[in-house]
């Protein structure tokens, strides 16, 4: 397969694939969504972090066994076609494009928020222009072939983890001193929401914060020995991220309180708000460095992942066939990368991280519901884990999806209908002589 000019080269081992997953996960989720979720459910955001991790684990295991058995670019889009039917396969691909484009826009806005705050310009009108500029630069970087050198991603992830370790250690004394007050009351839902709906809404947002592991699954065509590499890389990434998220949430809420953490607004920098309460010089600036590198890393990986799904959809002509074309080196789907960059930049213009992240939550939950559905029909000899795990993942995704804002899931369902209408048109065009 590696010699076939229509397919991408297999270059990654467990470490490289896990680092790609970490680069996709540790970013917007920890630096932005914890603050958004804290504004919805209060201090119990730490419980939402745990619920999100649990749901992500079941989904991650379903993704792992599917990717190991069907190691091609496209993730659940391809699994839906192979194990379910073309309509569900297309819906998965369509939802992935919508969900991760919204996540990428959130990452770009998060980058801009932390960068501007670091220079004391958090209230300026530069948030959207800076976010769009970052999208343009990273789209160019991906076109230049950054995928073939994972050293850049490793450096980004290392700097991010170091800054988060600093955040936890620097904030621990303040969290211990102020935690009793800041965690009381533990359940403090957003006005107009009940305790359980608020917690489940926050859990849906936090689930999305873990879903960068899907980036590993979309690397199915680019990893060595995918049957063993993909499951190990996904589990490694999820364990590492779960520990990091739990530590950051506990310290952040304990030190600053959920109210301060919820101050995302247009600044999109909740951990920077928390770091200002620490009794450590330059804490906000050190954190900003990690946040900026994290957002760059997650946006880079999302552009890569989205372009690979668009590549797969172009191959089936569910999207225009020009998106299936690779550059002369066989390393980059040029048209797909450019299209992805344009869509992400357009979403970044919204300028509201809560809207973009909530939309991402609904669409990605639908996507992973289809993932679990596909895992349920795997034959016994191809199964790594018991079927009940896929059932738990399926029910969890469908339940959490409808606890986001009503306007968000209504728009989401409308876009599903639009996508299916396009799919019907595309199928008819393919059948036309």
Q: Is residue 5 a part of any domain in this protein?
A: no
Q: Is residue 7 a part of any domain in this protein?
A: no
SS (H, E, C) the chain: CCCCCCCCCCCECHHHHHHHHHHHHCCHHHHHHHHHHHHHHHHHHHHHHHHHHHHHHHHHHHHHHHHHHCCCCCCHHHHHHHHCCHHHHHHHHHHHHHHHHHHHHHHHHHHHHHHHHHCCCCCCCCHHHHHHHHHHHHHHHHHCCHHHCCHHHHHHHHHHHHHHHHHHHHHHHHHHHHHHHHCCCCCCCCCCCCHHHHHHHHHHHHHHHHHHHHHHHCCCCCECCHHHHHHHHHHHHHHHHHHHHHHHHHHHHHHHCHHHHCCCCCCCCHHHHHHCCCCCCCHHHHHHHHHHHHHHHHHHHHHHHHHHHHHHHHHCCCCCHHHHCCCCCCCCCHHHHHHHHHHHHHHHCCCCHHHHHHHHHHHHHHHHHHHHHHHHCCCHHHCCCCHHHHHHHHHHHHHHHCCCCHHHHHHHHHHHHHHHHHHHHHHHHHHCC
Q: Is residue 186 a part of any domain in this protein?
A: yes
- Domain of residue 396: give its range: 14-428
Residue 364 pLDDT more than 60? yes
Least-confidence region, from 97-106, 167-176, 187-196, 336-345: 187-196
- pLDDT at position 3 is 45
Choice between 411 and 119, residue whose per-residue pLDDT is larger: 411
Q: Please tell me the total count of domains within the chain.
A: 1
pTM of the model: 0.82
We report the CATH number of the domain holding residue 265 as 1.20.1740.10
Residue 327 pLDDT more than 60? yes
Most confident of 139-148, 170-179, 209-218, 279-288: 170-179
Q: Is residue 385 a part of any domain in this protein?
A: yes
Choice between 330 and 399, residue whose per-residue pLDDT is larger: 399
For the stretch 376-426, pLDDT in tens is 999 888 888 899 999 999 999 999 999 988 888 899 899 999 999 988 887
Q: Is residue 380 a part of any domain in this protein?
A: yes
Q: Is residue 433 a part of any domain in this protein?
A: no
Q: What is the pLDDT confidence band of residue 268, given thresholds at 50, 70 and 90?
A: low
Tell me how long the chain is.
Answer: 433
Q: What is the pLDDT confidence band of residue 2, given thresholds at 50, 70 and 90?
A: very low
Tell me what percent of the residues of the chain surpass a pLDDT of 90: 23
Q: What is the pLDDT confidence band of residue 1, given thresholds at 50, 70 and 90?
A: very low
Q: Is residue 1 a part of any domain in this protein?
A: no
- pLDDT at position 5 is 47
Least-confidence region, from 46-60, 94-108, 214-228, 251-265: 214-228
Using the structure block, give the residue that is written with the tokens 């996960």: 25
- pLDDT at position 151 is 67
Beta partners for residue 12, in sequence order: 223
**How large is the average pLDDT for residues 165-179?**
90
Q: Is residue 188 a part of any domain in this protein?
A: yes
Least-confidence region, from 1-5, 56-60, 86-90, 127-131: 1-5
């Amino acid at each position: 397969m590696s010699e076939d000019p229509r397919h991408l080269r297999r270059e990654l081992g467990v470490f490289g694939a896990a680092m790609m997953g970490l680069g996709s996960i540790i970013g917007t989720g920890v630096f932005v969504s914890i603050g958004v979720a804290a504004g919805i459910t209060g201090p119990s955001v730490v419980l939402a972090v745990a619920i999100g991790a649990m749901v992500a684990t079941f989904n991650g295991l379903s993704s792992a066994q599917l990717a190991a058995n069907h190691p091609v670019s496209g993730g659940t889009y391809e699994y839906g076609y192979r194990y379910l039917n073309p309509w569900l396969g297309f819906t998965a691909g369509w939802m992935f494009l919508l969900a991760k484009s919204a996540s990428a826009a959130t990452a770009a806005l998060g980058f801009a928020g932390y960068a501007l705050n670091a220079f004391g310009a958090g209230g300026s009108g530069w948030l959207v222009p800076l976010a769009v500029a970052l999208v343009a630069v990273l789209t160019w970087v991906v076109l230049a072939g950054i995928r073939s050198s994972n050293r850049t991603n490793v450096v980004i992830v290392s700097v991010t983890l170091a800054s988060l370790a600093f955040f936890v250690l620097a904030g621990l004394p303040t969290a211990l001193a102020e935690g009793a007050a800041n965690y009381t009351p533990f359940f403090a839902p957003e006005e107009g929401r009940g305790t359980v709906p608020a917690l489940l809404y926050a859990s849906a947002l936090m689930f999305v914060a873990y879903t960068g592991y899907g980036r590993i699954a979309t690397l199915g065509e680019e990893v060595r020995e995918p049957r063993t590499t993909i499951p190990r890389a996904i589990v490694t990434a999820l364990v590492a991220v779960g520990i990091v998220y739990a530590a950051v949430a506990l310290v952040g809420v304990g030190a600053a309180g959920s109210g301060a953490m919820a101050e995302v607004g247009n600044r999109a920098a909740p951990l920077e708000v928390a770091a200002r309460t620490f009794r450590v010089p330059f804490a906000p600036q050190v954190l900003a460095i990690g946040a900026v590198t994290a957002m760059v890393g997650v946006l880079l990986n999302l552009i890569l992942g989205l372009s690979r799904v668009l590549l797969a959809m172009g191959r089936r002509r569910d999207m225009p066939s020009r998106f299936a074309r690779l550059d002369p080196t066989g390393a980059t789907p040029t048209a797909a990368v450019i299209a992805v960059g344009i869509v992400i930049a357009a979403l970044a213009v919204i300028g509201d991280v809560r809207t973009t992240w909530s939309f991402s939550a609904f669409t990605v939950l639908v996507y992973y519901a289809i993932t679990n559905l596909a895992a349920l029909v795997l034959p016994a000899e191809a199964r790594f884990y018991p079927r009940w795990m896929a059932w738990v993942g399926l029910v969890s995704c469908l339940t959490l999806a409808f606890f986001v804002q009503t306007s968000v899931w209504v728009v989401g369902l409308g876009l599903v209908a639009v996508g299916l209408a396009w799919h019907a048109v595309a199928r008819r065009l393919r059948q036309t002589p």
